[in-house]
Amino acid sequence: MKINVLVIGDIVGKPGRIILKNKLKAYIDREQIHFCIANGENAAGGAGITEEIANELFSYGVDVITMGDHVWDKKDIMHFLETNRSILRPGNYSPLAIGRGYVVKTSHAGTPVGVINVLGRVFMKPVDCPFRVVDDILKIVSKETKVIFVDMHAEATSEKIAMGWYLDGRVSAVVGTHTHVPTADEKILPKGTACISDLGMTGPHESILGRKIDCVLKAITTQMPTRFEVAEGDIRINGVKVVVDSQTGKADSIKRVEVREGD
């Protein structure tokens, strides 16, 4: 059986949530999506997420929310990370941190799907080795399913590509998040793992990485502290649709997705 998995790039603020509210369910129905993963670490005002917003995203059709380096920015998410298995924090934070870095959840096709969330280390905050942590998590997740998706939330393209090759043949897909710019390097690696360096951004593209242009330019040109407000124009959904063989866990195809307000 083939299952269709939609993975959505970093949701930025209210504009990102609005386009998901308006467009996601129609896309899921049209493309026969069986499972939807979304990175939500910028969903609340551009930094972090709240329990209310997480539940909002679930109501729009998202099955699992992954996070990143802004996971702790909104303090009221702490309890939700402990109690709801469908929202993940990077698994290579301290094992003493609340929350978890993986989940196995049944898709709408009845096939269990594993989701793993890790954080890169190049130009990022100090964390444990994502490669070693993925190995440890796979010992658990691979006992439950062969369909496994990894969100590698990282700054360096090289580190995300390295994770794809490291996991080739052991997971269905490795997708990069964090940089908010979609890359054109989607591919199926030789042993059947789909990869892309970055999914891009679900939010306002008339912006600098989702923030108002004048605010970012002011900060760059003056070197003065500036509040980066979330932009509002040209809202799009960025992500990929991956078709996976549920028996083998290997990806058949990966295709970039872009949905605009007028679509």
Per the annotation, where are the binding residues for Fe cation? 10, 41-42, 69, 153, 178, 180
Instruction: Please state, in angstroms and rounded to a whole number, the distance separating the CA atoms of residues 101 and 99.
Output: 7
Residue 194 tokens read as 């789909």
What distance lies between CA 228 and its chain's CA centroid?
A: 22
Closest by Cα among 70, 251, 84, 94 to 167: 251
Please check whether residue 70 is in contact with residue 47, taking contact to mean a CB–CB distance below 8 angstroms.
yes
CATH annotation of 2-255: 3.60.21.10
For range 70-89, the mean pLDDT: 94
Residues marked as catalytic: 70
User: Of the given ranges (175-184, 218-227, 249-258), which has the lowest mean pLDDT?
Assistant: 218-227
Q: Which residues are 173's β-sheet partners?
A: 149, 194
Sequence-distant (6+) residues with CB within 8 A of 228 are: 46, 211, 212, 215, 216, 219
| Calculated CA dihedral for residues 198, 220, 215, 14, nearest 10 degrees | 20
In this structure, how many other beta carbons lie within 10 angstroms of the beta carbon of residue 47? 16
Sequence-distant (6+) residues with CB within 8 A of 231 are: 15, 203, 204, 206, 207, 208, 210, 211, 212, 213
Give all strands (DSSP E) within 89-198, no chain letters.
102-106, 112-119, 148-153, 173-177, 187-188, 194-196
Residue 125 confidence class, pLDDT cut points 50, 70, 90: confident
Give all strands (DSSP E) within 22-143, no chain letters.
35-39, 64-66, 102-106, 112-119
Sequence ranges of the domains in the chain = 2-255
* pLDDT attached to residue 76: 87
pLDDT in tens, 38-76: 999 999 998 999 999 999 999 999 999 999 999 999 998
pTM: 0.96
State whether residue 89 is helix, strand or coil. Answer: coil
**What is the Rg, in whole angstroms, of the alpha carbon atoms belonging to the chain?**
17
Please check whether residue 220 is in contact with residue 211, taking contact to mean a CB–CB distance below 8 angstroms.
no
**pLDDT > 90? residue 149:** yes
Q: Which helix (H) or strand (E) holds 236?
A: strand 233-245
End-to-end CA distance of the chain: 30
**pLDDT > 90? residue 262:** no
Please check whether residue 238 is in contact with residue 199, taking contact to mean a CB–CB distance below 8 angstroms.
yes
